[in-house]
A and B are shown apart, each in its own frame.
Chain A
Amino acid sequence: MEKFTSHKALVAPLDRANVDTDQIIPKQFLKSIKRSGFGPNLFDEWRYLDEGQPGQDCSNRPLNPDFILNKGRYQGAEILLARQNFGCGSSREHAPWALLDYGFRCVIAPSYADIFYNNCFKNGILPVILDDKIVNQLFEETFVSEGYQLNIDLSSQTVQTPSGESFSFEVDEFRKHCLLNGLDDIGLTLADADSIRSYEAKRKETSPWLFGVVK
């Protein structure tokens, strides 16, 4: 997993509440057995005017000119500004894979669905939570000033605007540590293998019917 330390980049505003993971990456693309290659199909139904198929070359498909990511001024954006309950619905990790593959390293929203939020951290994406009012302000600033960039610093847990205004955000210590260092948390858990084994031995004693049956 790629580290996330600080990131200064162009912001794209997606001004909709309750964006679900079916919108982020529609079901037909979940048939892939890979982790990569989902970027061209990010927000597929909103981004293109035709119906996308897996494996298709997207470069010649008709773009929806009204969709925000298709506007020239937001090309190259790496920070997605979003509304409440972003990433609700299906647990598909293909959603953060698609965001990452497209180029987004950070999402800013007032709230997220739990599973999506968790999935972001596993893939080097930082989901920042800021107060509704601040998110509103960022939307306004993004709309009025072309080339609007934000600087996200994970160590200091701050979002800095071009005018120098700074907003702090909360993030779980463990998740922060893993993101800052690009750590694979399976390795960390396996460092506790002895604890897992002793828990398991005890559980086998108290609830033996949970073991050795499905085989």
Chain B
Amino acid sequence: MKPRTLYDKLWDDHVVKQREDGTALIYIDRQLLHEVTSPQAFEGLSLAGRAPWRLDANLATPDHNVPTENQEAGVEGILDPVSRIQVETLDANCDKFGIVEFKMGDSRQGIVHVIGPEQGATLPGMTIVCGDSHTATHGAFATLAHGIGTSEVEHVLATQCLIQRKMKNMRVEVNGDLPFGVTAKDIILAIIGEIGTAGGTGYAIEFAGSAIEALSMEGRMTVCNMAIEGGARSGLVAFDDTTLEYLKDRPYGPKAEQWDQAVSQWRDLKSDEGAFFDRVVKLNAADIKPQVTWGTSPEMVVAVDAQIPRQEEEADPIKREAIERAYQYMGYKEGLAITDIKLDRVFIGSCTNSRIEDLRAAAEVAKGNQVASSIKQAMVVPGSGLVKQQAEEEGLDEIFTQAGFQWREPGCSMCLAMNADKLGDGEHCASTSNRNFEGRQGQGGRTHLVSPAMAAAAAIAGHFVDVRDFVRQQS
């Protein structure tokens, strides 16, 4: 048999029917649902008199709109009436159709891309979709996972399938040891800086190489999460012992003899030797430094010790214009160093960086320090109720609050500012989220994407600092 990539294998395993026009009907093992992109899908289903094809393939939770304070009040605690209706609509739809939902107040509630893996609802070899582009996160478990629109949410509810055309294969190889203070977030930001925000369009990206193999599952999730910021709907990492260890004893994972059977299938979830990739990109881990985005697209990223790029250095006129617009939006003068950017707010959270290891990394930096007085707000938002519990058992909440950070309740929060957590006009924010688009975190807000440790160090300094120097000075 011809050697196949991991993506080829996942694709082949899910073809229900290959059509003559080159499209295929692909079976979907898991659909995650949240309140923002599902109401119109449920409505469509009802209007057409259709029922969900397979209830147990779905798992729902509200995350985008939920407030990060006073969650024990449940839906009643949502002060914005429009947001409240959306969460109530999800609750009503899940109750009506019989879909399992972790409602507000349930300790298992959280960001969809955090709770799926946490519960073992994300398992190797699956196809996973959600009406959210960061569904790519689940690819860290050797799954084929990608975001879809609401029409396709309805399509999957009604048929358990999607009509797809196969993507191309890209392999991004990161080899060598990551330097001290450099994290999974810096890897993916460096990759996006290299391939550009449309570099992965039309591809499924497999992340490989010794630096990826050395990452924990949480690190791999951070990398796959931002595949979409590089243009790829799906990111993937091969199954290995790290995956296996993470999955043991997860509530929805296989048990007893089914576990052994599953593991023997999962062992094959890797690209074969000699499999063909349409594009290969290689990075040397040793060359990666802590990254900071300076502009309004994730590809506008440099190392923390760099200066903001000058417009005249860019040859491509369309890119030059984009740089000019970003300068204007971000309010820069020429030749500013990254470490000179003064910050107003700091956000540690989102489906990219709100898991326990992210919080530990930020707490390690925050411990015994104080958030700078010039920072209006520094908030930590855990990815789920269970992450929050775990962090509290470890005393991380106290470290944060003693350092002057706000310790909040789980949700998407300031990543996209659909709830009350947002930036004011012109404010600069060090954020562990995934998008620095204009207005993303609040109208006129200026986002800089960084790792959790870099965000914590920036909160303490009041401006960006190289977390490597920061930690060395502390010790």
Residues of chain A touching chain B, judged by Cβ–Cβ distance below 8 Å, are: 16-18, 20, 22-23, 26-28, 30-35, 45, 51, 54-55, 83-85, 88-93, 96, 111-115, 118-119, 122-123, 172-174, 184-186, 188-190, 192-193, 195-196, 199-200, 203, 206-215
Contacts and interface: CB of A to CB of B under 8 A. Distances in A.
Interface string B132-165: 1100000000000011111110110011110101
Contact of A115 (B29, B149, B259, B319): B149
A140 to B, nearest CB: 14
Given A92-B37, A174-B23, A31 B149 contact: no
A84 B318 contact: yes
Interface in B303-339: 318-319, 321-322, 325
A93 B150 contact: yes
A136 to B, nearest CB: 10
A215 to B, nearest CB: 5
Nearest to A51: B443
B322 A18 contact: yes
A115 B148 CA distance: 6
Residue among A33, A91, A112, A192 with the most chain B CB within 10 A? Answer: A91
A173 B165 CA distance: 11
Contacts of B233: 114-115
Contacts of A17: 318-319, 321-322
Interface in B5-41: 16-17, 19, 21-23, 25, 27, 29, 36-37, 39-40
Nearest to B38: A33
Contacts of A118: 148-149, 152
B215 interface: no
20 contacts: A17-B322, A22-B437, A23-B438, A30-B36, A32-B82, A51-B443, A54-B82, A88-B197, A90-B435, A114-B231, A114-B233, A122-B149, A172-B22, A186-B158, A189-B158, A192-B25, A196-B27, A196-B160, A214-B57, A214-B252
B121 interface: yes
Given A92-B37, A93-B151, A195 B318 contact: no
A196 B159 contact: yes
Nearest to A215: B56
Nearest to B39: A33
Contacts of B254: 209
Contact of A195 (B25, B40, B259, B435): B25
Interface in B228-282: 228, 231, 233, 252-254, 258-259, 261-262, 265
A201 B438 CA distance: 47
B438 A122 contact: no
Contact of B262 (A20, A112, A192, A207): A207
B390 interface: no
Contact of B25 (A55, A89, A91, A189): A189
Contacts of B253: 209
B75 interface: no
Contacts of B21: 172-174
A89 B150 CA distance: 15
B463 interface: no
Interface string B47-75: 01010011111110000110000000000
B361 interface: no
B125 A119 contact: no
**Interface pairs A-B: 9 shortest CB-CB:** A209-B254, A93-B149, A122-B151, A33-B39, A119-B149, A91-B147, A85-B198, A91-B133, A93-B150
Contact of A200 (B27, B258, B440): B27
B85 interface: yes
Nearest to A121: B151
Nearest to B203: A114
B201 interface: yes
Nearest to A85: B198
B148 A185 contact: no
A215 B40 CA distance: 23
Contacts of A85: 197-198, 201, 231
A209 B165 CA distance: 27
A185 B155 contact: yes
Nearest to B26: A199
B418 interface: yes
B201 to A, nearest CB: 6
B456 interface: no
Contact of A18 (B25, B89, B198, B439): B198
Contacts of B133: 89-91, 115
A120 to B, nearest CB: 9
Given A189-B25, A192-B25, A195-B25, A30 B418 contact: yes
A91 B149 contact: yes
B231 A113 contact: yes
B439 A26 contact: yes
Given A33-B39, A45-B438, A185-B163, 18 more contacts: A17-B321, A22-B437, A27-B417, A33-B86, A35-B43, A51-B443, A55-B82, A114-B231, A118-B148, A118-B152, A173-B22, A186-B158, A189-B163, A190-B158, A192-B16, A196-B27, A196-B160, A209-B253
B238 to A, nearest CB: 18
